[in-house]
Amino acid sequence: MDTRLLVTAALTAALTTSFAAAEATRHQVSSFAELAQHVNDLGDLTGTLVVMDDDDTLTMMPCPEGSKPKHCQYLGGPAWYAWQDDLLKNDKNSPYLIAKDEATLLKLSTMLFAINNMVYTEADVPKVLDDLSSKGVRLLVETARGYETTSATAAQFSALTAETGSFSQLISRNSLIMEDSNTTSLPGPYAPCNIPGSRSVNYQQGVIYVAGQNKGTMLQCLLESYENSELDNPALPIRNIVFIDDTQANVDDIYQAFAGQQQYQVRALHYNAFDAHKAALTTGPKAETYQDNAKRRWEKISQVLHHQLQSTIATDPNAAKLQRVSQQ
């Protein structure tokens, strides 16, 4: 065969491979074992970044599988927050509503995060991630939590054990090292990509706190900072991204942010293992029981806060009365 034809064919094949490698796709998974399959299918493990949501993906409020409703905690979790937010918008007179407005609900949610320890969604989570990281895969947690929860989240991750050390150590040892700090953190909080009107984000110990903003855009901003790094690291370039989140809207945001680009091959995975668990709070035969349990737990916490603290957030119709009692 003519040498020129061979060269042309080789270039065509290379370009075709490069183009194919930059596609973005969406998938459904029900376990972290399936996440690992997607990572291994892509190959080039040292060029792969696994990006993971936190709440109801990596960790969750305690609710042992098969447990009785009284042992299952929804209070403070994403499903509970979504339920409360819906009540704020559609049923402000509900006896289950704990906040007078969205700002107060957010503050109370942040407080509940701060006083709760979390558990893994699956017992295999640390093993799967430790195995991937041992092969050169890098890990990143992208949480919708705000930067105000940085300390609480770090404490929760530190309390969880991994194959070697804590879960916090597993993530921070294997995440994106930034030139500015030579660590898996950035000085912050900071404005993402200097986007006008954006809320401040924080990147600390391999976790980026995006404060409820578009996860696709926020990931692009972090990667821009990372790719501008000049560290002498042979595994520096990221070529594959595998993203996993229990919320379909976040999966769609990632897909739309990276669809059509030519730099990364992206697989956006919807983690659907807890769809039924989250829905059970508002639908199904035990919904009222779960809601009553969440209400009673909050009332006990609220009473303690109002009795013991000098100044608290007004959270319910009885807040003023409780405040007066606490000051007597």
Inter-residue long-range contacts of 226-232, CB under 8 Å, 24+ positions, other chains counted: 226/176, 226/178, 228/179, 229/177, 229/178, 229/179, 230/179, 231/177, 231/179, 231/182
Q: Crossing angle, helix 248-258 and helix 215-227, to 10 degrees?
A: 50
User: How far is the CA of 30 from the CAs of 33, 73, 99, 130, 245, in angstroms?
Assistant: 8, 21, 34, 19, 11
Could you report the per-residue pLDDT of 212-266, keeping only the tens digit for each? 999 999 999 999 988 876 555 555 789 999 999 999 999 999 999 999 888 999 9
Q: What is the pLDDT of residue 230?
A: 56
Strands (E), the chain: 24-29, 48-52, 59-60, 119-120, 138-143, 202-204, 207-209, 240-245, 265-271
Q: What is the pLDDT of residue 171?
A: 96
Nearest to 143 by CA among 205, 101, 226, 231: 205
Q: What residues does CATH 3.40.50.1000 cover in the chain?
A: 21-60+117-277
pLDDT score of 4 more than 50: no
Query: For 280, left (φ over 0), alpha (ψ -120 to 50), or beta?
Result: alpha
CATH architecture of 21-60+117-277: 3-Layer(aba) Sandwich (3.40)
pLDDT score of 7 more than 50: no
Across the range 16-25, mean pLDDT stands at 60
Give this prediction's pTM: 0.83
143 close to 207: Cβ distance less than 8 angstroms: yes
Residue 18, helix vs strand vs coil: helix
